[in-house]
Structure 1
Amino acid sequence: MSAVRWGVLTTARIAQDRFLPGMQKARNAVVSAISSPSGRAAGVAARFDIPTAYASHEELLADPNIEAVYLPFPNGLHAEWIIAAAEAGKDILCEKPLVGSLEDYTRVVEACDRNGVNLMEAFMYRFHPQHQKVREFIDAGRIGQVVSMHARFHFVMDRSPGEVRLQAGLEGGAVNDVGCYAIDIMNMVMGRSPVSVYAKGTSPTDPVETTVAAILDYDGVIGTFDCGFEGPMTHTFQVIGTKGHITLDQAFDPDPGAPARVTVSLRDGSTEGFDIAEDQFKVEIERFSVWARSSGHEVIHRELTEQNLAVRLAIHESLATGLPRTVEKVHAVKHHLLQEQ
C-alpha cells in the first residue's frame, strides 16, 4: 500500500514540534503540502522536506494530490475548517477538542457524512502503549474493582500577546486545552461518561478559566481532575482499585521516544514498574492513515468524542452556575437537531 498523502493546514507550534517529526517516522504516511497565509509555510516546508507550500489553506484543500489533512487551528476555528476540508473530500484529523458546541458537532458530522470522509479528534495520547498496559491490568483484575480516578494536567503558559488559549471567542480556557485530556482518559477507562459533574475554576485576570478542579460522578466510581495554565508542568493519572492502584507519571504528553513509567502498587505492598517508550504522534498518524484507506467514512472513536463534548459542556455549565450539572448524552441531542433541520 502506498503512503497516504497528507496536507498540514497552518504552521502551528504543535505541527512543527510534534506532528511533523512524528510524520517523518511514520511508515505509511507522507506530508505532501503545508499551508499558511502568514508566509511561513515555505520555511517550514524546507525544514521538513515538504514538496509543496501554499500561501492559503484553500489552495491546499483544492490540491487533488492530498488525501488527508491535519488541522491544528485554534479551537473556535475547528468547525469551519473541518467543513471546508470535508467539502474538499479530504479525510480529517483535527486537534482536540473537536468542537465546543452541539450545533457545531451536528454541522461537522453532517458535512463529513455528506461528503464521505473520515473524521477523528486528535487525542494523540490514546495511541501511547502505556494506556494499553493500564487497560490490560484493569481487565485482568490486578487492582480489583475500580473505585476512583485522579488526573492532573498543568503547565505555565507563555502569555504572549494574542495567545489563543486565553480568548473566550476562540473557545480557549483550561478545560478545553488540558482538562479535556483528563475527561477523556476517565471516560476511556470507564467506557462511559459520568452522570454528573461539579467544577470550580479561577480566572483572576482573564476572560477564560485558567485553573479548574472538578468531580465526575460515574455512579459508583468517582473521578477528579485539576488542570491549568499557572503551575509547573505535570500530567499524571492514577486509577485506584480495591486491591491496588496504577500510576502514570507522564500520562498525556511524554517526550517522543522517551520512557513513560507505569507503576502498579498492590495492597500487599508489592510494586511493579514498566517503562514504555513510543512516539504517540507517529502511531496516531499511522493508525489514521490505515483508517483513511480501509474504512468507508466515519467519526473514528465517535463515542469518546461525544462523551468528551458532553462532559465539557456540563463542566462549563457548572463553572458558570456554581452548581453540579447532569451530563446529557450528545448523540441523542445531535439526532434531534438533525431532525429539526
Structure 2
Amino acid sequence: MTELRWGILGAAKFAREHMAPAIHAARQSRLAMLATSDPAKAAAFTAMDSGLRVVDSYDAVLSDPEIDAVYIPLPNSMHVQWTRRALEAGKHVLCEKPIAMRADEIDALIDLRDRTGLVAAEAYMIVHHPQWAQVRTWVQDGAIGALRRVNATFTYDNSADPGNIRNALGTGGGSLPDIGVYTLGCARFVTGQEAERVLFADIRREEGVEVRAEAMVQFDGFTLTSFTSMRMLRYQSVTFQGTTGVIEVPVPFNPMGYGDAEVRLMRKAGPVEVFRYPGVNQYVQQVEAFGAAVRGEADYPCPLEFSRGTQTLMDMIWAAEG
C-alpha cells in the first residue's frame, strides 16, 4: 500500500480544523470520503479537495472498498460502537479520545483489533510531538534526579455554549473525558508508570455534567496533581519536579494554537536548557505514524493498551469522588 485512503465519519469542527488538513498534509495519505448529511458542513471539506466524495451515511464509508482507514470524531458516547463497526468492516481506525467511557469497554476493541489484524488507536496526538519525547528522555535518564511531583493543568471555558456536546451527559461530556486524557496520560507516557491509588478527588458538576475535576494520584515515588475545567480561563501547563531539577512544558497540549512548543530544563548548576519546536504539527505526525503502522513500517506509539491505562486511571478518579 503506497497511499492510505481515509474516510471521516461526521463533519465535526475538530475534523474540519485539524484532522482533515492533517490528512491532506501527511505523506502517503489522502482524504477520500466524508460522511455527513449537511451540505453546509461538507463545503469546508470539499474546499480543501474538490475531488472529495461526500456521502450521507457512516455505513457508506465503511462499505466502500476504496477506503482503507476511518477517522472517527463523533461524540464520546459513540466511539466504541463505531470503532467496532469499522473494524468489523475491515477498516483501520483512528478514533478521537476518549475512545471509550470505561476502561473495560476497551478490552473488546483490543480483542477485535487482534482478531482482524487491523490498526486501531485513539487519537492521542501529543505522544507524536517531539517535545514529549524530549521530556520522557530527560525524566527517564535522570536529568532532574528522582521525580517527585507532576503538576498538570488544562482549562478552558465553554459556559457560553450550553449546546456543546461536552456539556451534555448523553454524549459523554465532561472535562475529564475531554481533556483529562492529557493531564493524566502525559504523566503515564513520560514515566511509563501506572497509578497506585487516587489520594484525593474533587469533582464539580452542573446539571449532572462534570465541569471541573481536581485529583491527586500516587505513583511509585511521585504524585500527580491533575486539574481540568470547562469553566475557567483558557490555560495549560505541565511541570515535572525532581530532586535535582525541574522540567517545564508551557504549551503541552495545543502547540501552534495555544502557543509555541518548547520545553525547559532547570538544574542546580548551569544555564536553563530550552528546546523549541517551531512549526511542528502533531496532527500531521499522528497521521503519518498511523500510516507507518498500517504499512508495517513501525509500531504505533500509542496502542489501545496505553489508552486503556489512562481510562483506568480516570475510572479510579470517578470512583474516588467524595
In structure 2, the CA distance between the partners of 1:300 and 1:238, relative to structure 1 (3 Å rule), is closer
In structure 2, the CA distance between the partners of 1:178 and 1:296, relative to structure 1 (3 Å rule), is closer
SS of equivalent to 2:295: helix
Q: Does 1:294 align with 2:296?
A: yes
Mapped partners of 1:256, 1:20: distance in 2:
16
- Per the TM alignment, residue 67 of structure 1 is displaced from its structure 2 partner at its CA by 0.4
- Per the TM alignment, residue 161 of structure 1 is displaced from its structure 2 partner at its CA by 4.4
SS of equivalent to 1:37: coil
Q: Which residue of 2 aligns with 1:4?
A: 4
Q: Which residue of 2 aligns with 1:201?
A: 203
The answer to whether the 8 A contact 1:6-1:32 is kept is: yes
Give 5+ residue unaligned stretches, structure 2: none
TM-score, normalised to structure 1's length? 0.88
In structure 2, the CA distance between the partners of 1:297 and 1:145, relative to structure 1 (3 Å rule), is closer
Mapped partners of 2:297, 2:117: distance in 1:
10
SS of equivalent to 2:114: helix
- Per the TM alignment, residue 274 of structure 1 is displaced from its structure 2 partner at its CA by 1.8
The answer to whether the 8 A contact 2:18-2:283 is kept is: yes
Mapped partners of 1:185, 1:300: distance in 2:
12
- Per the TM alignment, residue 158 of structure 1 is displaced from its structure 2 partner at its CA by 5.3
The answer to whether the 8 A contact 1:153-1:227 is kept is: yes
Matches within 5 A, 1:109-258: 109-157=110-158, 159-197=160-198, 198-203=200-205, 205-255=206-256
Count, aligned residues:
319
The answer to whether the 8 A contact 1:192-1:307 is kept is: no
In structure 2, the CA distance between the partners of 1:103 and 1:259, relative to structure 1 (3 Å rule), is closer
SS of equivalent to 1:53: strand
The answer to whether the 8 A contact 2:113-2:120 is kept is: yes
Q: Which residue of 2 aligns with 1:35?
A: 35
Deviates more, 1:290-299 or 1:92-101: 290-299
Deviates more, 1:240-249 or 1:1-10: 1-10
Deviation per residue, 1:204-228 (Å, 9 max, x gap):
x332111111101003211111111
Q: Does 1:307 align with 2:312?
A: no
The answer to whether the 8 A contact 1:45-1:52 is kept is: no
Mapped partners of 1:293, 1:307: distance in 2:
26
Mapped partners of 1:105, 1:237: distance in 2:
27
In structure 2, the CA distance between the partners of 1:296 and 1:265, relative to structure 1 (3 Å rule), is closer
SS of equivalent to 1:209: strand
SS of equivalent to 1:169: coil
The answer to whether the 8 A contact 1:41-1:55 is kept is: no
SS of equivalent to 2:277: strand
Deviation per residue, 1:162-200 (Å, 9 max, x gap):
321122222211111111111100111221211111210
The answer to whether the 8 A contact 1:149-1:224 is kept is: yes
State the percentage of identical aligned residues. Answer: 28
In structure 2, the CA distance between the partners of 1:159 and 1:114, relative to structure 1 (3 Å rule), is farther
- Per the TM alignment, residue 240 of structure 1 is displaced from its structure 2 partner at its CA by 0.6
SS of equivalent to 2:289: helix
The answer to whether the 8 A contact 2:101-2:172 is kept is: yes
- Per the TM alignment, residue 126 of structure 1 is displaced from its structure 2 partner at its CA by 1.1
- Per the TM alignment, residue 306 of structure 1 is displaced from its structure 2 partner at its CA by 1.8
- Per the TM alignment, residue 154 of structure 1 is displaced from its structure 2 partner at its CA by 0.4
- Per the TM alignment, residue 272 of structure 1 is displaced from its structure 2 partner at its CA by 2.1
Mapped partners of 1:202, 1:257: distance in 2:
25
In structure 2, the CA distance between the partners of 1:294 and 1:74, relative to structure 1 (3 Å rule), is same
Deviation per residue, 1:267-318 (Å, 9 max, x gap):
2373222211310000000000111121799995233212111101111111
Q: Write the letter of the residue equivalent to 1:189.
A: V
Q: Write the letter of the residue equivalent to 1:306.
A: R
The answer to whether the 8 A contact 2:11-2:42 is kept is: no
The answer to whether the 8 A contact 1:173-1:208 is kept is: yes
Matches within 5 A, 1:45-60: 45-49=45-49, 50-60=51-61
Mapped partners of 1:247, 1:29: distance in 2:
34
The answer to whether the 8 A contact 1:117-1:298 is kept is: no
Mapped partners of 1:297, 1:280: distance in 2:
17
In structure 2, the CA distance between the partners of 1:226 and 1:296, relative to structure 1 (3 Å rule), is closer
Mapped partners of 1:58, 1:298: distance in 2:
26
The answer to whether the 8 A contact 1:194-1:217 is kept is: yes
- Per the TM alignment, residue 103 of structure 1 is displaced from its structure 2 partner at its CA by 4.4
The list of structure 1 runs, each at least 4 consecutive aligned residues, that deviate by more than 4 angstroms after superposition, is 295-300
SS of equivalent to 1:235: strand
Matches within 5 A, 1:73-112: 73-112=74-113
The answer to whether the 8 A contact 2:14-2:73 is kept is: yes
TM-score, normalised to structure 2's length? 0.93
Q: Which residue of 1 aligns with 2:263?
A: 262
Q: Which residue of 2 aligns with 1:18?
A: 18
Deviates more, 1:205-214 or 1:258-267: 258-267
